[in-house]
Structure 1
Amino acid sequence: MKRFMKPAHFAIGLMAAVFLSGCAETTFLSSSIKHAGSDQPVAGKYKIGNPYQIQGVWYYPAEDFAYVETGIASWYGPKFHGKPTANGEVFDMNQVSAAHRTLPLPSLVRVTNLENGRSLVVRVNDRGPFAHGRILDMSRRGAQLLGFEKQGTARVKVEILKDQSFALKNTLVNQIAAKDSPIKSAGMAKPQVSAQSLSVPEGGKAAQSQMTMAQAPQPVARPEPVQTAMQEPSNTVRTYAVSPTRMYIQAGAFSKYENANRVKASLASVGDVEVSQVLVNGRDFFRVRVGPLQDVSQADQVLENVIQAGYPSAKIIVEKGKG
């Protein structure tokens, strides 16, 4: 049965929303989110997860606090609204969140729309997207704030916020450890301590005062936990200058030029193919790319052609430069 809020409750909720919009991003450190119109928190947990395979492609979740990637973002909403996310929270399409294939859950990332310059800090708490050529699935509210709800997709840059994500992890892990700890000091029996006065030995001198009860050691004050300050309030959109971008389909990156050249030859019928040399972590790689491509629709079509040609791990690459 559906529940409706009374006008008074709605007014209180509206005032609270206005107040919270000015809070710092430390609100993201909460280990739960709330249903719209409900005060009951829905607990989530910190999760990385095991490797998994979707449509012939393997994904390897891992802690990657140096993660930065550009590509195409999409958004999801009504079909999943109110359902559990991959880490046990509840998806609310009217809140800012996102799904990512491999980042720890939850993490905090900055998502920048490279087409209009809008940028937003987003909580990643779900797995996906699993459509070819997408690197992030935003909630509907996130897509609205970044300005691509109507068009459905956008060229984006996704960058993890290292310190904030690490603090978020520690908060959740410590809460679970404290909750599950089998040792409860409050339930332990306290020892009985007593004192007895003795006569002063011959030649001794009585102390000025005698203890009538053993003094219990004073508890050591624990330092307050240090939380990493967040950058800005949730739902706060920054705007940056926009630079031209271009798109490619990358079939793969190879350590040997001969292998890259063979792949180039096999994709000659798909479009303009190029092999370029790049240095990654001190190693030379030869990447095979098709393009540049004009728009997302064309990129999606070429991507499917490359996958059908035998390269299921091919992906859309977005980088600065004129197409």
Structure 2
Amino acid sequence: MVLGSATVLSSALPRLLLSFVLALGLSACAETNFLLHTAKKMRDGPPGGVYKVGEPYQMNGVWYTPVEDYGYDETGIASWYGADFHGRATANGETYDMNEVTAAHKTLPLPSLARVTNLENGRSLIVRVNDRGPFVAGRILDLSRRSAQLLGLEGKGTGRVRVQILAEESREIAERLKERGAVANARVLPGPEAVKDKTLMVAQLPKAEVAREELAPPPGAKIAPQLKPTASRVVVTDTPLREASRPQRPPAAAKAGMLTQGAARATRIYVQAGAFGNFDNAHKTSARLAGVGPVAVSPVLVNGRDVFRVRLGPIASVEEADRFLDSVIRSGYPDARVVVD
């Protein structure tokens, strides 16, 4: 009896081992596919998104002009948006997920990477800018709920921040999406069905056939010697020609979600009515706003030029800054904004 059991076990053992090996292989393949998908999502973002700058647009009576500004570096007030927009399409065709580390900006290229620093606690977070907004006066950035949590802004609703675009990383994202053809507002040639009457596309025109015939040289003509073909050097490479034609650069290191802790610093809030190249214009603006609140003209050097900023403040809180900003806008300065120094 014991011998029979041993025989059965001996015959079943290879099948058990084979099943175990196959299960491990399938598990490894599944894990590899998952890791590859995750890495691609972190690099290129959710499927369906495109690279977009966009045309000038108007919201709530204010015009905004998107631009590829890879030198963007501004301070101001950030807010955050969550459940009301969760699952909706972003401005570049991705899907907004309030649990991802993303943000909305009025004019930066989409998508791009930016470093957002909470000036009140020193935390800096790399966010993926993939949406437009916030369309509220006095706000320069709308964070996803997760971004606000990581920066310590969720409970307060707003915070004093510095926003700096990461130029190299953002250019790299744009380049990858352009290579894939994922670009918004790309010009596409119309198909044959879109061609109007009396309009012919070049590809539709009949092509004339050209016959080739060798002719004997005229009497007395000198015949040039035939050149022997020379061996041409061929470079064999595994890299596609389009990629080989430009220098390769290592991928950028910064990724959305990277959080660092720095030192907090004291800040003050102002409402800036404008910045003028002429002192007289700045002084006139200051005089017009004297009844709104404490206003001053401060000179600053920008790109080697004297610029005169007209600012109200310092202001104690974001709520008070919002009230001052509304008064300045109603006084005839629609481009006024809240700044943090």
Distance 1:284 1:305 in 2: 27
Distance 1:308 1:175, change over 3 A: same
SS where residue 245 of structure 1 aligns?
Answer: coil
AA aligned opposite 1:170: E
Contact 2:51 2:182 (8 Å CA) reproduced: no
- Structure 2 SS opposite 1:155: strand
Q: Do 1:102 and 1:127's aligned partners in 2 also have CA atoms closer than 8 Å?
A: yes
Task: Report the secondary structure of 1:270's partner residue.
Answer: coil
- Distance of 1:122 and 1:177 partners within structure 2: 21
**Secondary structure in 2 aligned to 1:290?**
strand
Select which of 293, 303, 315 maps to 1:281.
303
Say yes or no: does 1:94 pair with 2:94: no
Counterpart among 49, 65, 69 of residue 60 in structure 1: 65
- Do the aligned partners of 1:110 and 1:121 also contact (CA within 8 Å) in 2? yes
| DSSP 3-state at the match of 1:176 | coil
- Which of 116, 140, 144 is equivalent to 1:139? 144
Contact map agreement 2:128 2:256 (CA 8 A) in 1: no
More helix by share: 2
Task: Compute the TM-score of the two structures, normalised by the length of structure 1.
Answer: 0.73
Which residue identity does 1:243 align to in structure 2? R
Partner residue of 1:309 out of 331, 335, 340: 331
Structure 2 equivalent of residue 212 of structure 1: none
- For 1:239 and 1:177, the matched residues in 2 are separated by 35
Q: CA RMSD in A?
A: 2.6
Describe the superposition over 1:126-151 as per-residue Cα deviations: whole angstroms up to 9, x where unpaired: 00111010000000010011111011
Aligned equivalent of 2:252, options 204, 213, 229 = 229
Matched residue type, 1:246: R
Q: Gaps (5+ residues) in structure 1?
A: 1-11, 34-41, 183-216
Choose the corresponding residue for 2:49, options 21, 27, 44. Answer: 44
Query: Which string of whole-angstrom CA distances, capped at 9 and with x for unpartnered residues, describes residues 198-251 of structure 1?
Result: xxxxxxxxxxxxxxxxxxx885321776442323x5433211001100011000
Q: Is the 8 A contact 1:29 1:167 kept in 2?
A: no
When residues 253 and 310 of structure 1 are mapped into structure 2, their CA distance, relative to the original with a 3 A threshold, is same
CA distance in 1, matches of 2:332, 2:235: 70
**Separation (CA, whole Å) in 1 of partners of 2:335 and 2:278:** 18
Partner of 2:219 in structure 1? Answer: none
TM-score (norm. length: structure 2)? 0.70
Contact 2:50 2:182 in 1 (8 A): no
Call closer, same or farther: CA 1:127–1:177 in 2, change over 3 Å: closer
Distance 1:247 1:177, change over 3 A: closer
Partners of 1:76 and 1:165 in 2: how far apart? 23
C-alpha separation in 1, matches of 2:174 and 2:128: 12
Q: After superposition, where does 1:95-174 map in structure 2 within 5 Å?
A: 95-174=100-179
Give the equivalent residue in structure 2 for 1:202.
none
Change (3 A) 1:60 1:84: same
Alpha-carbon distance in 1 for matches of 2:263, 2:182:
44
The residue type equivalent to 1:220 in the other structure is T
Determine the structure 1 residue equivalent to 2:43. Answer: 29
**Unpaired runs of at least 5, structure 2:** 1-26, 190-233
Contact 1:167 1:227 in 2 (8 A): no
Report if the CA contact (8 A) 1:28-1:123 is conserved: no
Rounded to whole Å, the distance in 2 between the matches of 1:90 and 1:292 is: 39
- What's 1:71 paired with? 76
Cα distance in 1 for partners of 2:129, 2:42 equals: 11
User: Could you tell me how far apart the structure 1 residues matched to 2:158 and 2:282 are?
Assistant: 30
Choose the corresponding residue for 1:176, options 168, 178, 181.
181
Cα distance in structure 2, aligned partners of 1:316 and 1:278 = 17
Quick one: percent identity of the two aligned structures?
Answer: 55
Change (3 A) 1:218 1:85: same
Amino acid corresponding to residue 133 of structure 2 in structure 1: G
CA distance, structure 2, for counterparts of residue 95 and residue 171 of structure 1: 21
- Displacement of 1:262 in angstroms is 0.9
Work out the number of aligned pairs and report it. 255
- Give the aligned residue type for 2:173: L
Match of 1:293 in 2: 315
Q: Is the 8 A contact 2:126 2:257 kept in 1?
A: yes
- In the alignment, is the contact (CA less than 8 A) between 2:114 and 2:166 conserved in 1? yes
Q: Does 1:271 align with 2:293?
A: yes
Q: 1:219 to 1:147 in 2, by over 3 A?
A: same
Aligned-pair distance for 1:175?
1.1
1:156-208 Cα offsets, whole Å, 9 max, x none, are: 01001111111111111111179x999xxxxxxxxxxxxxxxxxxxxxxxxxx
Q: Aligned-pair distance for 1:27?
A: 5.6
